[in-house]
Chains A and B, each alone.
Chain A
Amino acid sequence: MPAVSKGDGMRGLAVFISDIRNCKSKEAEIKRINKELANIRSKFKGDKALDGYSKKKYVCKLLFIFLLGHDIDFGHMEAVNLLSSNKYTEKQIGYLFISVLVNSNSELIRLINNAIKNDLSSRNPTFMCLALHCIANVGSREMAEAFASEIPRILVAGDTMDSVKQSAALCLLRLYKTSPDLVLMGEWTSRVVHLLNDQHMGVVTAAISLITCLSQKNPDEFKTCVSLAVSRLSRIVSSASTDLQDYTYYFVPAPWLSCKLLRLLQCYPPPEDGAVKGRLVECLETILNKAQEPPKSKKVQHSNAKNAILFEAISLIIHYDSEPNLLVRACNQLGQFLQHRETNLRYLALESMCTLASSEFSHEAVKTHIETVINALKTERDVSVRQRAADLLYAMCDRSNAKQIVAEMLSYLETADYSIREEMVLKVAILAEKYAVDYSWYVDTILNLIRIAGDYVSEEVWYRVIQIVINRDDVQGYAAKTVFEALQAPACHENMVKVGGYILGEFGNLIAGDPRSSPLVQFNLLHSKFHLCSVPTRALLLSAYIKFINLFPETKATIQEVLRCDSQIRNSDVELQQRAVEYLKLSSIASTDVLATVLEEMPPFPERESSILAKLKKKKGPGAVSVTELEDSKRESGELNGAGERGPDPSVMAASNASTPSPSADLLGIRSAAPVSNAPASAGSLLVDVFSEAGPAASSGAVNDDGFLSSAPPSEDPAPPLSEAEELLNKFVCKNNGVLFENQLLQIGIKSEYRQNLGRMYLFYGNKTSVQFASFTTTVSCPGELQSHLNVQSKPVEPLVEGGAQIQQVLNIECLTDFSDAPLLNIKFRYGGALQNLTLKLPVTINKFFQPTEMASQDFFQRWKQLSQPQQEAQKIFKANHSMDTEVIKAKLLGLGMALLDNVDPNPENYVCAGVIQTKSQQVGCLLRLEPNAQAQMYRLTLRCSKDSVSKRLCELLAQQF
């Protein structure tokens, strides 16, 4: 051991560590540790009082044991005792033990707090530092309560030692993070900001972390830090390499501090003051220039430190996105790094360029490096670097280079690492769709994708290609021809069979003229894959077969033969068996007209944002895909099938009620147990529709047997609100008209209008069956407190609703005072003898009584400040549930009823609104600020209202909308 280590001072510890190191096995180690733990425990429990030295020794041993991964459940008390020792070494080890082992909810906190209090008032700087470290490490609520008011004073006091200031700054940061409500910066703000000017570099380094965090939370209050940071940075950047003495690291002046300053500046937009801005631009230019100068040292530490600053400067340039000259220079600098021999630099350059590609000023400059990046994708030996290269290619792709990039990515896929294949597949699919000029290229690309990386092609991808082929008739023939050729391969991926089955089932007729792809050839080709496929694919193929019967009558006999054979009609899988039976029956009894109607070509899908994109965004999100996200993606794939948005489509539901839910249905990600996949889903449901028209009695019987709606007990009491009532309510927050509810029997539409504190709502009840509804009654009620907040009057409705008929009801609504709950609408009627009873929430929400208020920026912020009491503000940070498109968001905010104010928020990405809620008793002024973060797919929503209950309710309502 080197002379400097005072190991001889603690022989017992050295022996113990050596023992552990000599243990031959894990068991032996555990045995030795248990022995030691028993020894220490008995020493602590023993009658003989231990001296400070022994306590220190044992605590050190415990620390070591903890490091080896063993839980320590004693010794805390002894550590706390060490805190009150007057010997620095003992005190220090006590604090060390506590900061490593004690968590913030420990019961010992009160005792620890006492010791800290003593040390803070001791005026001994080393003791004060230890105490502050401890607060910073444990940072519990109780500590914040005890010390939050004390620390800022220590931090800014003139006579505080530099090292204490450093600890105090970080300590305050911790308390601010755990209990922001307790750390009131108000009076200290300007003095804290001025720490940036402190003579001591260490103090600046520590303070800047605190200031950065505070600026992120209250940018306006800390605005002055920008000019101070710029001048500090300028002094560092222009200093000679030796000026800063001990803060110079391998000839680079204060690299860490420079990075932090540049990072702080990224919390703000470019400085408005011309002089400050000029000085900053000068700094940034100097940093870029230095990169070109010959290095002052050959040591890698020198260039690393220099480049750390350079990359941070480039981040700032990208963040400002306003200096074309600097952006292009940054791009060129990164371009040099792309070919650097240091892997670290290549990695960082690719990463940084990825953000640069999205700036309009530098997009073209980034594109010039395409060959280098493609080369990196092919030759880099590190998968994380290749991943960055793929990201960059994706970011720099536009119409001009899409074909090249997609081709390169496809060829890379063949050898790509398994870990990034799925993401690559998604990216290729998105680029191919986004930049498709002719859709035959798109179809080729996706089919290639399936061929090369079939296992990684998720449902979203192949759903999407089908959706596009169906919506574009110019590409259908080409698609049919291409899949037909692709299926010729002896071993083709199951996803290819799915796409092939679907497309040939729909558009096989377009290539049937060619004898080489005559109907029978097509069928035989598909059927040759049948037995190798999984159940869901086979189900899809069966649907393709029945479509063939319609398209090509000449194949009818052959296909019926296939359907009739035991392996289909008696298949052990219920879904397959049912399809075989139903399709066989359908093909034998239905006339050609019926068949043609049932098996008509799929109608075009409604245009909407690609669900692949959503999936990619999720993949990029932090952590693994959680369960809720999985459910989300299921829902999306449902929408892709055109079923999701229509909600409980009666025919689909009837179909799913009639058939047993099969596992294959779930596999395809359609909610409930809708029959498998796109075509089959609608083909199946059409099927049932036809039958139900033939015999409505039978179908309605089935409905009742199935117990639809009978979850509500057949009593005269109003049923409890439907489980989805809240969701239905949310649909109407930003709109006044639409369909409130729909099932197989009944559809309820709504039209409403509001003026001041009054509203009128028209309800339309439609009977969807052909049978009369008897004793039809509706009741509107305001449960509990709501009665005194809202007054709703309704006229009774006709007790009989004929089949197919619609009746109307008018409600008059008066808002007396602000409210949170929604009124309930109960509907009862008899259908075929059975009592139907359901309760919904009426979409009357507080925001309906908004009057928009236009105001200028100045007025807005003045009012915003006036509403500054904590309870007046409600804030929520949430994940985007819907598209973050600007127009969509604007439309929703307008629908909300407030005035959408332009040019108010300094950040043009943000939305601010103002309005007054009119109630009979009072008017409530409301201000709203919505800050989207497209990168993280998150929003922050802040509401400030003159009444706190309103802020809260509006915040709840709105968080569901975006």
Chain B
Amino acid sequence: MIKFVIMVNQQGQTRLSKYYEPVELSKRAALEAVAVRCCLSRGKHQCSFVEYKDFKLVYRQYAALYVVVGVSDSENELSIYELIQNFVEVLDKYFSRVSELDIMFNLDSVHIILDEMIQNGHIVETNKSRILAPLTAIDKMADG
């Protein structure tokens, strides 16, 4: 299962974090720091899967932003790798060319999107328009 999803920038600032297993606040910072260091220290030719303690990190870089997903042993690495891509594509569709700022200023929307895609550590929806359905509904309400 998926243990957490985090988004961090190259300066190591967390932009999004969602945990599907309880992790203490103090340990989150440490974990996020390790994840960033681990991703930053790796080059393009290195593989996108890193073993860390008893789980694996799957990461993908988008400009200065990294999306890091912690998964248990039983998860298919490539499918998680593409799940990240799908997530970012959904963000891109919603924000039309997503940037780090969009994520910061619209944290609640990003959370809604993520909640539509992953619940409780499991993939629940992969269809882009269905993922965006609740958000579009909200926006319609606000407009109308």
Contacts and interface: CB of A to CB of B under 8 A. Distances in A.
Interface of A: 1-2, 4-7, 9, 13-14, 17, 21, 60, 63-64, 67-69, 71, 88-89, 92-93, 96, 99-100, 103-104, 126, 129, 133, 136-137, 139, 163, 166-167, 169-171, 173-174, 201-202, 205-206, 209, 246-247, 249, 254-257, 259-260, 263, 301, 304-305, 307-308, 311-312, 343-344, 346-348, 381-382, 384-385, 622-624
A384 B126 CA distance: 30
A5 B95 contact: yes
A64 B110 CA distance: 12
Contacts, number: 186
B120 A137 contact: yes
25 contacts: A1-B105, A6-B142, A7-B105, A67-B14, A92-B108, A96-B108, A96-B111, A136-B119, A166-B124, A170-B119, A201-B127, A205-B125, A206-B119, A206-B125, A209-B1, A246-B127, A247-B126, A249-B86, A256-B79, A301-B82, A304-B85, A305-B78, A305-B82, A384-B46, A385-B47
A623 B137 CA distance: 45
B28 A69 contact: yes
Nearest to A210: B122
A166 B16 CA distance: 24
B138 A92 contact: yes
A205 B131 CA distance: 13
A344 B81 contact: yes
A67 B17 contact: yes
A169 to B, nearest CB: 8
Contact of A343 (B29, B47, B74, B137): B47
Interface residues of B, number: 64
B76 to A, nearest CB: 5
A304 B125 contact: no
Interface string B6-30: 0000000011111000100100110
Contacts of A1: 101-102, 105
Contacts of A6: 106, 139, 142
B47 A136 contact: no
Contacts of A307: 78
A381 B49 CA distance: 14
Nearest to A207: B124
Contact of A304 (B29, B50, B82, B137): B82
Interface in B52-80: 53-54, 74, 76-79
B133 interface: yes
A256 B127 contact: no
A304 B25 contact: no
A304 B127 contact: no
B45 A260 contact: no
A260 B120 contact: no
Contacts of B127: 201-202, 246-247
B48 to A, nearest CB: 6
A301 B81 CA distance: 9
B106 A7 contact: yes
A133 B134 CA distance: 13
Interface string B108-140: 110110010001101111111110011001110
Given A2-B97, A17-B104, A67-B17, A103 B22 contact: yes
B102 A5 contact: yes
B105 A14 contact: yes
A260 B142 CA distance: 38
Given A4-B139, A202-B127, A173 B47 contact: no
Contacts of A99: 115
A173 B121 CA distance: 10
Given A67-B17, A343-B45, A206 B122 contact: yes
Contacts of B122: 170, 173, 206, 209
Contacts of A169: 124
Contact of A93 (B78, B105, B108): B108
Contacts of B25: 69, 71
Counting from the closest, the 9 A-B pairs by CB-CB distance are A622-B54, A308-B78, A209-B122, A382-B46, A308-B79, A170-B119, A246-B127, A347-B47, A343-B47
B19 to A, nearest CB: 9
A171 B46 CA distance: 37
A795 to B, nearest CB: 57
